[in-house]
């Protein structure tokens, strides 16, 4: 069965001193986290992504601002998500073409199932 994108809500504690959210691998994300990355200082209305992963899985979290995410399957299914709440994350399975539009000084945190490997990327949409 082919996996589909899914929104997750992370556990947390809200108190007057601020909010604390957390996640644990294999409990709150469906894979062992092998790489953590973040995007920041992205120019307003800049698009990122524009690729798919052959085997890699990800969960992305917008820590600040807004990121609009469009995911497309090889079968033509399209999912659109607006990430603006750091208590929520988006699971992206392998073989979903993704692009992200950054707004409002957005900062994005990514958790990946694999270490970086250029061989895992499909960067040409025609080859997707």
The string over 58-89, giving b where at least 16 C-beta atoms fall within 10 Å of a residue's C-beta and e elsewhere, is bbbbbbebebbbbbbbeeeeebebebeebebb
Q: Is the Cα dihedral 121, 108, 15, 8 positive or negative?
A: negative
Q: Catalytic site residue 53?
A: no
Q: Is the Cα dihedral 102, 104, 105, 108 positive or negative?
A: negative
> Please, which residues bridge with residue 83 across strands?
67
> Please, which residues bridge with residue 36 across strands?
111
- Tokens representing 35 are 């790489």
Selecting among 19, 40, 51, 53, the annotated active-site residue is 51
Q: Which residues are part of the catalytic machinery?
A: 51
């Amino acid at each position: 069965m082919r996996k589909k994108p899914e929104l997750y809500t992370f556990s947390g504690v809200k108190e007057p001193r601020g909010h604390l959210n957390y996640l644990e691998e294999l409990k709150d994300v469906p894979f062992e986290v092998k790489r953590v990355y973040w995007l920041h200082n992205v120019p307003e209305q800049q698009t990122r992504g524009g690729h798919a992963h052959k085997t890699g899985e990800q969960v992305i979290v917008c820590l600040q601002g807004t990121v609009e995410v469009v995911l497309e399957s090889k079968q033509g299914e399209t999912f659109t998500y607006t990430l603006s709440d750091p208590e929520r994350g988006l699971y992206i399975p392998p073989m979903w073409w993704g692009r992200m539009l950054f707004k409002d000084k957005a900062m994005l945190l990514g958790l990946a199932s694999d270490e970086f490997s250029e061989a895992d990327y499909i960067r040409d949409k025609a080859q997707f």
